[in-house]
Amino acid sequence: MGKRIKTKIIDYGYDGEGVGKTDGKIYFVNGAMVGEEVEVECYQENSKFGRARLVNIINQSNLRQSAPCPYYGECGGCCYQHTSYQNELAIKKILFSRQLKKLGYQKESRVIPSPIQYHYRNKIKLFIKGGHMGLKKRKSNDLIEIQQCLICKEQINEAIPKINLFIKQNSECFSHVIISYIGDRGNIVLYKTCSKTIDYQNLISSLAEKFNICEVYKSQTSIVYKKAVRKETLAIKYHIHANSFHQVNERVMLELYNKVLDLLTGKNILNCYSGGGLLSGLLCQNGKFVTAIELGQKEHKEAEQLKALNDFKFMKNIQGDCGKILDQLDDNFDTIIVDPPRAGMDDLMVKNLKNKDFKRLIYISCDSATLIRDIQRLKLKIGDVYMFDMFPRTGEYECLVILDK
Ligand SMILES: C[S@@+](CC[C@H](N)C(=O)[O-])C[C@H]1O[C@@H](n2cnc3c(N)ncnc32)[C@H](O)[C@@H]1O
C-alpha cells in the first residue's frame, strides 16, 4: 500500500486529472476536482511529483455527480463521468487554451460539443488475457473485464457479451478484438495468435445478422462471415473495409467536415492523411478538385471505391506517404488539409509543406500537443481555432486550426 496524504486540488492536468500540492510536491489525482480536499494514496512518486488514487473526498465540489458506468475509475477509458458535460467542456477548453498560449495565441477557441455524450462511439478495441476480455485499467496493462461500454453504440454493447462467451471457450487463441458499427452493419475483427482452426459457428449464429466477422492471423485477414452492405452519408455512397480508419463519433465528424467545407479557400484542394475518402467526397460534391493522399492500403482502396460508386471525376486518390508524395506534386493548391495520426507530422512533411505554395492550411488533430509542436515548426499565421468534442467523457478532443500564409 502506498503513502496516504491529504491534499487540496488546485488545478487540472492534461488528462483532466486533479492536481494537488502538498509539502512542495505536485500530485496528479484521477477523478479529483478543483476545490476539493481529498485523501489520496500514492502509487508512483519521484522527488518532484507523484500519481495518486482518490481514497476519500473530505470536501466535495458541487460540480461532482455520480458516474453512470460501473467500471468508471478503474477502467482507463473515461475520465469525466464524475462531472457534468458542461463542466467537462469547460475543463477541456481551459486545457486547450493553455496549449495554445505556447503559440502566443490568446483568443478563445470555439467549442463544438457532441450532441450525445454516451452511446456515440462506433468502434472499440478489447484486449484478451487469461480468459478475460476487456479494457486496460488506468495506467496499467491489467484488464478489467467488461460486459458493456457506455460510450459505445448499443449494437456494440449487444455484441460484447456474445463475443465474451466465445472468447471464454477459445481465449488461448486470441490477443484482442476490434468491434465497429457504422451505418446499419458492423465488423468484428478477431486477432488470432495460434494456427489452430477455430469453430466460429456459434459466433456466426448469434452475430451475423448485424456484423461481418473476420480473423487476422500473422497480418493475413480471412473472412469468417460477410454480407456486403453499402453505406451512405450525406448522399455519398461507400463501403467500409474491416478495420480501416473512421472517425469514431459520426455526428461530430459531420460537424467537423462541414466546418472544413466552410473554411476552404479556392477550388484546388489537397487532402493529406485522407483516410477512406468521405471528406474528399464531400469536397468533390461541393464542386472542388480534390487530390487525396493516404498511406493505408485499406483506406486507399475504400477511397477508390467511393470515387467509382459516386462517379467523382475530380477526385484523385494517391496511395503513399504524405511527406514523400507532396514533394512530387507540381500542382498549385489553394487549400491544404492535414489530419495526421496522434504522432503528428514527420520532419519531411513539415519541410515539404513549408516549401509548398498555398493560401490556407487547415490542420485537424486529435492530439493538441503534437498539433502545437507542428504549428511551431511551420511558422504560419494562426487564424481561428476550433475544438470539436469527438470523444465525450474521455480526456481527448479533436482540434482544428486555420493557418494562413
Ligand atoms: C486521423 S486519420 C484521418 C483520416 C481522415 N482525414 C478522416 O477524417 O477519416 C489519419 C490517417 O492518416 C493515415 N496516415 C498515417 N500516416 C500517414 C502518412 N505518413 N502519409 C499518409 N497517410 C498517413 C492513416 O492511415 C489514417 O487513415
**Span from the CA of 340 to the centroid of ligand 1 (angstroms):** 5
Q: In this structure, is residue 69 part of a structural domain?
A: no
Q: Which atom of ligand 1 is nearest to the CA of 271?
A: 6
Whether the CA torsion 333, 327, 321, 400 is positive or negative: it is negative
C-alpha cell belonging to residue 375: 504549428
Q: Nearest-CA neighbor of 69 among 398, 392, 396?
A: 392
Same domain, 248 and 384: yes
Q: Are 270 and 333 in contact (CB under 8 A)?
A: yes
Sheet of 289-294, strands arranged across: 110-112, 381-388, 398-404, 360-365, 335-338, 268-272, 289-294, 315-319
Q: In this structure, is residue 4 part of a structural domain?
A: yes
Q: In this structure, is residue 88 part of a structural domain?
A: no
DSSP 360-402: EEEEEES-HHHHHHHHHHHT-EEEEEEEE--STTSS--EEEEE
Q: In this structure, is residue 87 part of a structural domain?
A: no
Same domain, 214 and 253: no
Q: In this structure, is residue 336 part of a structural domain?
A: yes
**Span from the CA of 295 to the centroid of ligand 1 (angstroms):** 7
Same domain, 193 and 329: no
pTM of the complete model: 0.96
**Span from the CA of 293 to the centroid of ligand 1 (angstroms):** 8
Same domain, 271 and 171: no
- In this predicted structure, what is the pLDDT of residue 1? 74
Task: Report the number of distinct structural domains present in the chain.
Answer: 3
Q: In this structure, is residue 310 part of a structural domain?
A: yes
Please list every protein residue whose CB sits less than 6 Å from any atom of ligand 1.
245-247, 273-276, 279, 293-296, 299, 321-322, 339-341
Specify which residues 398 forms β-bridges with: 388
Q: At which of 20, 41, 64 does a domain end?
A: 64
- In this predicted structure, what is the pLDDT of residue 317? 98
Q: In this structure, is residue 80 part of a structural domain?
A: no
Number of Cβ within a 10 Å radius of residue 44: 11
Same domain, 245 and 171: no
**Span from the CA of 20 to the centroid of ligand 1 (angstroms):** 38
Same domain, 220 and 235: no
Surface-to-core class of residue 339, CB atoms within 10 Å of its CB (0-12 exposed, 13-18 middle, 19+ buried): buried
Look up cell 494517391; give the residue.
318
Same domain, 306 and 158: no
Domain that holds residue 31: 1-64
Q: Are 317 and 284 in contact (CB under 8 A)?
A: no
C-alpha cell belonging to residue 395: 480526456
Give the residue whose CA is nearest to atom 27 of ligand 1: 275
Same domain, 137 and 105: no
- Which residues, given as ranges, of the chain have pLDDT below 70? none
Q: In this structure, is residue 76 part of a structural domain?
A: no
